[in-house]
Structure 1
């Protein structure tokens, strides 16, 4: 299947990778952005740009007119207040679906959610992602829809994992986690190809789907630390930060956010997410539904990320 795909969040980490993969797969990609994306000015990216945001019904109408599929990647991963998470993640989804009901009633709707939506009690972010999924189920009507729940996403253009790489380079890494915690991961390029593969599935049903790098049972933190260290030819000394040590750090970052008006990913409300013991993708899984398999193992993915950090003089 190909045609016009309407994409939100195209200037974000995941959305930009999705735009590249969709264009490479032959889709005519139309993006909703607040500002002109740099990728639109490059000759190898044929993007149709609609300036606006999720609060502007007129720009949403321009985005969705004549589209065959909708990929909703826009959302907040950091915010100053819980209300802001819900306003954008839940409210933006609702607004997009309400306009789509009039402008593109038969377009498939692919929502990029998060594994965090599985545990809404942990944080406002997690609750807002589950609320967005609930809006999708309530407002989609008879249209085909799928909500993809990726786990921790990393790769080139990601700055959130950079401190861990810097720590591994120094040979000492402190990580916040519960004893025995396991996490699933996925390289951003694999998530982007997963989006393309999902759109190419001939038969959809209204469902939530999880995906990861297909490593059975996810990864424990010692594996993550050793894999990071291998990138630098080292065996880093690793220390697990107990939750009572992490909480004052998170509170301090929350105060910084409040004083500066710039939200940080780490906040006191994020601590429960960090110390949740089970962030393993389970199912139903995308690999059971579509002919998609991830290309990057954790080792290959970290090596690819390190190459980008070095190319950008970040390490």
Structure 2
């Protein structure tokens, strides 16, 4: 099957491309100019140069393919640079849906995110609206909602590598965020890290399994781990013992309100808010429904954190 991928040079996209090729599919990637060096296997992937905001590039990317996978997502927006949640996570999806219809591409697989809702942060709202647009499109769709994804980033941005860089390697104590004024259960909110190869396997399986059509899958790992447990595991994986101290979320958000417009500041107000909501699946049977077994999070899967940056 020839598959168009929008967002194929990122962390998730590269893993999906690798598994598509292994399964005998032919990926065609829409690649922003200057990002050609990030293509996973340039000799085996078709490449269309262009931006998702360029209608002609979208048309070229989708022409003659049988399915499209949309993966573009950002964790922070910088409107002054034209980088917004709405533009990339809603409008980009809607434009790709329209292009798919014009090109006769009926199969559409979307990467959304666990925990999205209509009344959430701008990130969550844009993902929610993209899902609604796809459901109403008339295309044969599948939606995946991963929790935080871990695995070898191969030089790209990834959850554990980012935490190692910003928190574990920092000389200051690791923050255990808590709500309110009294540090009850600091760092106790839970996440369900999901392994990158398991996420990629779900996407590739969806292309060949008609039972996945008109289905939404929340992809969570098999463990519910607290923020403190995750930081402790990452520190242990790199041979460190990290001092951790309670940190009031309200104070961190106040600081972020002053500086999160700048890329050098490590976290935004919305990221703190979403982090403290937790990120676990209310229903955790998606991998079982897909016939896949998720990989546990642990030191043995974090050896890539010891490689030189």
Q: TM-score per shorter chain, which class?
A: 0.7 to 0.9
* Structure 1, 119-128 or 21-30: larger mean CA deviation: 119-128
- SS at 2:64's partner residue? coil
What is residue 233 of structure 2 aligned with on the other side? 227
2-side partners of 1:150 and 1:176: how far apart? 23
What is residue 275 of structure 2 aligned with on the other side? 274
CA gap 1:26/1:240 in 2 versus in 1, 3 angstroms: farther
CA gap 1:84/1:236 in 2 versus in 1, 3 angstroms: closer
CA gap 1:63/1:116 in 2 versus in 1, 3 angstroms: same
Contact 2:29/2:45, CA 8 A, preserved across alignment = yes
2-side partners of 1:223 and 1:60: how far apart? 43
Q: How far 1:265 moved relative to its partner?
A: 6.5
What is residue 22 of structure 1 aligned with on the other side? 20
Deviations 1:106-148 (A, max 9, x none): 3x2110011142x443311111111111111122x1x321110
2-side partners of 1:177 and 1:186: how far apart? 24
Give TM-score scaled by structure 2 length.
0.84
What is residue 214 of structure 2 aligned with on the other side? 206
> Following superposition of structure 1 onto structure 2, how do residues 181-196 of structure 1 map, counting pairs within 5 Å?
181-196=189-204
2-side partners of 1:25 and 1:200: how far apart? 10
Q: How far 1:72 moved relative to its partner?
A: 0.5
- SS at 1:147's partner residue? strand
Root mean square deviation, CA, Å: 2.7
> Following superposition of structure 1 onto structure 2, how do residues 103-122 of structure 1 map, counting pairs within 5 Å?
103-106=103-106, 108-117=107-116, 119-122=117-120
For structure 2, the 5+ residue unaligned runs are 180-184
Contact 1:34/1:51, CA 8 A, preserved across alignment = yes
Residue 152 (structure 1) aligned to one of 137, 148, 154: 148
2-side partners of 1:191 and 1:41: how far apart? 17
What is residue 236 of structure 1 aligned with on the other side? 242
1-side partners of 2:135 and 2:191: how far apart? 27
1-side partners of 2:248 and 2:294: how far apart? 33
- SS at 2:235's partner residue? helix
Residue 126 (structure 1) aligned to one of 120, 124, 127: 124
CA gap 1:83/1:172 in 2 versus in 1, 3 angstroms: closer
Deviations 1:77-106 (A, max 9, x none): 221249921122111111100111121243
Give TM-score scaled by structure 1 length.
0.83
- SS at 2:246's partner residue? strand
What is residue 60 of structure 1 aligned with on the other side? 58
Q: How far 1:283 moved relative to its partner?
A: 3.1
Q: How far 1:175 moved relative to its partner?
A: 3.6
